[in-house]
Amino acid sequence: MPFVNIRILEGHSQKRKDEISRRVTEAISEVAELPKEAIWVVFEDVAGSDWFVGGAAVRKPKDQ
């Protein structure tokens, strides 16, 4: 069973996550020829202060 772990900046709506999950599940189901029920998708919300690009945090912590 495929297990997809998606790390995403916190703050995305449930509606958006539902759509991402639906599309990822459909793509894997089609390519791997597996039933959708066999595909697991998990989201990990990451704070912008914990996500770095080019050595800099995407967002400053609120207490700074």
**Domain at 32, CATH number:** 3.30.429.10
Q: Model pTM?
A: 0.83
In a domain, 40, yes or no: yes
Tokens of 55: 């050595």
How many domains is the chain partitioned into structurally? 1
| 13 is a domain residue | yes
Question: Is residue 41 in a domain?
Answer: yes
* Region 24-36 average pLDDT: 98
Q: How far apart are CA 24 and CA 62, in angstroms?
A: 33
Per-residue pLDDT, averaged over 31-55, amounts to 96
Range of the domain at 40: 3-57
Is 2 a residue of the active site?
Answer: yes
> Strand 56-57 to strand 52-53: parallel, antiparallel, or no bridges (unpaired)?
antiparallel
From the candidates 1, 2, 43, 46, which is the catalytic residue? Answer: 2
Whether pLDDT at 63 is above 90: no
Q: What is the pLDDT of residue 60?
A: 80
Return the SS3 of 29: helix
Reply yes or no on whether the pLDDT at 46 is more than 80. Answer: yes
